[in-house]
Amino acid sequence: MKKLIACMLTIFAAIPLILAVWGFAVPAQYRETFVGELPAKRAMLAAESDKPRLIIVGGSAAAFGVDSALLAQELPDYQPINFGLYAALGTRVMLDLSIDELRPGDIVIVMPEQQSQALSDTIGTETLWQAVDGDFAALACLHARDFGPTLGAFPRFAAAKFRYFLIGAPNPEGVYRRDSFNAAGDVINPLCSANILPDGYDPTMPVRFDTAMLSADFCAALNDYTAHAETVGATVYYHFPPMNAAAVESGADIDGYAAYLQSQLTAPLAGNPHACVLDSGWFYDTNFHLNASGKTVFTRQLIRDIKAMLGDTSTTEIALPAMPASAAQADTEAADNSDAAYFTMQNGVLTVNEQGRTRSSLTIPAEVDGTPVTALTADTLTGCDKLEKLTIQQNITALPDTLFTSCPALRTVTLTQPDPARLAVGQNLLAGAPAALRLQVPDGSYTAYCLSYAWSAYAERLE
């Protein structure tokens, strides 16, 4: 017995060492992913420059929304650097990673997405580990209060990294890969040519102007950043990101929100937020990601706003492009309607009927009584307390937050959509869902879902 105990203690003591080897000694595995661009962006900030820089700090709205070549053309006294990457990292992470690189004469445009996560003080620890893989010196830039949560996410990162080392490093297809970035840090993938969102917007990601979503800790962090910038002779402005007009909540008080935001920040607001609310035809795959034409439209406005802040009265010679036609496509999967009798469609809203609530297994149909089914609501599964297995077919293009709250017995949700970019999901899909719930994705799509812009938040539940 003593030998067994000693052996077990030795194994437990060795686990941290094994994880450390997997995490730090194994070659970087995330270099070709979207967040694998972070080391290159950090190198851009650290590089010498013969002129002050125009630094855009934010999430992927900045990466997809800014054309650095146009900035350089219209503001030739500055070198543009697009330091926008991914909102899941946290806006403060991008502030922390850039603050010590500010120099005299730099202009910093802070442009987080208009959503609660980007306007909070939280950091995405799992995503952060992937982003710094191969550039662990970046961790020294973090605030001390982030060390605990970051360390807590390390075992999962190390295990996943070693798994990729054995089976092959992730090399995503489509837009969300490192080679979509140009030398200035802009996303320039030719796939971003038109709006691919069903109905032109993502209903799971409403654009809100609610002062309650603005975190006091976020404002404090940005104010500290602004104060530090002033000490080195740099200037910070806040600018709203591009926002899909179709996703803006009805009755939004944009002016009231902007006034409140300015009252909380020491950095001045650049431009008019209304000018950042753009037609859905200028977007690509989220309510904050612009297509190539939309990028030109937004950058043109951004340049005008920066010039106004600088007192530059020169004209901005950028021609507006034509708005591209929507590229959204309907799924052609042969749908399974065998469970249609267990659902009711009323006024375009799908719900499980009384007979369906007794079922332990359900498949969302493609149509009910001849009416196509393309969307679910948070109430679709109300009363399904016996439901254990659910299949969601490719006709569904978005999953609403709290969809599974009324399903305490639910253990498996099978998603048949192979492309995560075509199944929109919010940040709170699993709010109130059973802890044991697993999300099954099609064969060959696991890595795509784990590295997806929206789905990576649910990586622990995917299989």
What is the three-class DSSP state of 2? helix
For 87-116, write each residue's pLDDT tens digit: 989 999 999 999 999 999 999 999 999 999
For 405-448, write each residue's pLDDT tens digit: 989 999 999 999 888 888 888 888 998 889 889 999 998 888 88
Q: Which H/E stretch holds residue 63? A: helix 60-65
CATH code of the domain containing 377: 3.40.50.12480
Q: Are residues 346 and 220 in the same domain?
A: no
Which pLDDT score, from 0 to 100, does residue 60 have? Answer: 95
Beta-sheet pairing, 438-440 with 343-346: unpaired
Whether 85 maps to a domain, the answer reads yes
Using alpha carbons, list the distances in angstroms from residue 130 to 36, 81, 138, 320, 416. Answer: 7, 22, 12, 37, 27
Q: Are residues 198 and 276 in the same domain?
A: yes
Angle, CA 233 vertex, CA 229 and CA 236 arms, to 5°:
45
Residue 152 pLDDT exceeds 70 = yes
Residue 13 pLDDT exceeds 80 = no
Q: Which of 1-10, 103-112, 113-122, 125-134 has the lowest mean pLDDT?
A: 1-10
Q: Which of 68-82, 212-226, 396-410, 445-459 has the lowest mean pLDDT?
A: 445-459
Q: Which of 83-92, 180-189, 378-387, 422-431 has the lowest mean pLDDT?
A: 422-431
- DSSP states of 70-133: HHHHH-TTSEEEEEE--GGG-HHHHHHHHGGG--TT-EEEEE--SSTTTTSS---HHHHHHHHT
What is the three-class DSSP state of 284? coil
Whether 402 maps to a domain, the answer reads yes
Burial of residue 263, with CB atoms counted within 10 A of its CB: 0-12 exposed, 13-18 middle, 19 or more buried: exposed
Q: Are residues 31 and 86 in the same domain?
A: yes
Where is mean pLDDT largest: 290-304, 313-327, 398-412? Answer: 290-304
Provide mean pLDDT across the span 36-61: 96
Whether 57 maps to a domain, the answer reads yes
Whether 423 maps to a domain, the answer reads yes
Whether 114 maps to a domain, the answer reads yes
Using alpha carbons, list the distances in angstroms from residue 44 to 81, 92, 99. Answer: 7, 19, 14
Residue 76 pLDDT exceeds 50 = yes
pTM of the model: 0.84
Of 310, 329, 361, the one marking the end of a domain is 310
Q: Are residues 303 and 407 in the same domain?
A: no
Name the more confident of 370 and 235. Answer: 235
Name the more confident of 332 and 104. Answer: 104
- In 3D, which of 402, 417, 406, 360 has the Cα closest to residue 382? 406
d(CA 87, CA 120): 11
Which pLDDT score, from 0 to 100, does residue 332 have? Answer: 43
Which pLDDT score, from 0 to 100, does residue 145 have? Answer: 87
Q: Which residues pair with 200 in a beta bridge?
A: none
Residue 346 pLDDT exceeds 90 = no
Residue 333 pLDDT exceeds 70 = no
Domain that holds residue 404: 340-461
CATH code of the domain containing 162: 3.40.50
Quote the mean pLDDT of the chain. Answer: 91
Of 267, 292, 310, the one marking the end of a domain is 310
For the chain, the domain total comes to 2
Which pLDDT score, from 0 to 100, does residue 223 have? Answer: 98
d(CA 229, CA 215): 21
Q: Are residues 269 and 182 in the same domain?
A: yes
Q: Which of 264-268, 277-281, 352-356, 452-456 has the lowest mean pLDDT?
A: 452-456
Which pLDDT score, from 0 to 100, does residue 5 have? Answer: 56
Q: Are residues 380 and 242 in the same domain?
A: no
Percent of the chain with pLDDT over 70: 95
Whether 49 maps to a domain, the answer reads yes
Whether 432 maps to a domain, the answer reads yes
Q: Which of 13-27, 245-259, 269-283, 408-422 has the lowest mean pLDDT?
A: 13-27
Query: Taking the alpha carbons of 379, 432, 151, 24 in that order, is the dihedral positive or negative?
Result: negative
Using alpha carbons, list the distances in angstroms from residue 2 to 11, 13, 132, 424. Answer: 14, 16, 42, 54
Residue 14 pLDDT exceeds 80 = no
Residue 331 pLDDT exceeds 80 = no
Q: Are residues 287 and 182 in the same domain?
A: yes
Of 262, 291, 310, the one marking the end of a domain is 310
Q: Are residues 227 and 129 in the same domain?
A: yes
Whether 396 maps to a domain, the answer reads yes
Q: Are residues 379 and 302 in the same domain?
A: no
- In 3D, which of 394, 239, 406, 375 has the Cα closest to residue 331? 394
Q: Are residues 300 and 364 in the same domain?
A: no
Q: Are residues 164 and 275 in the same domain?
A: yes
In sequence order, the 6+-apart residues with CB closer than 8 A to the CB of 354 are none
Name the more confident of 460 and 268. Answer: 268
Q: Are residues 412 and 455 in the same domain?
A: yes
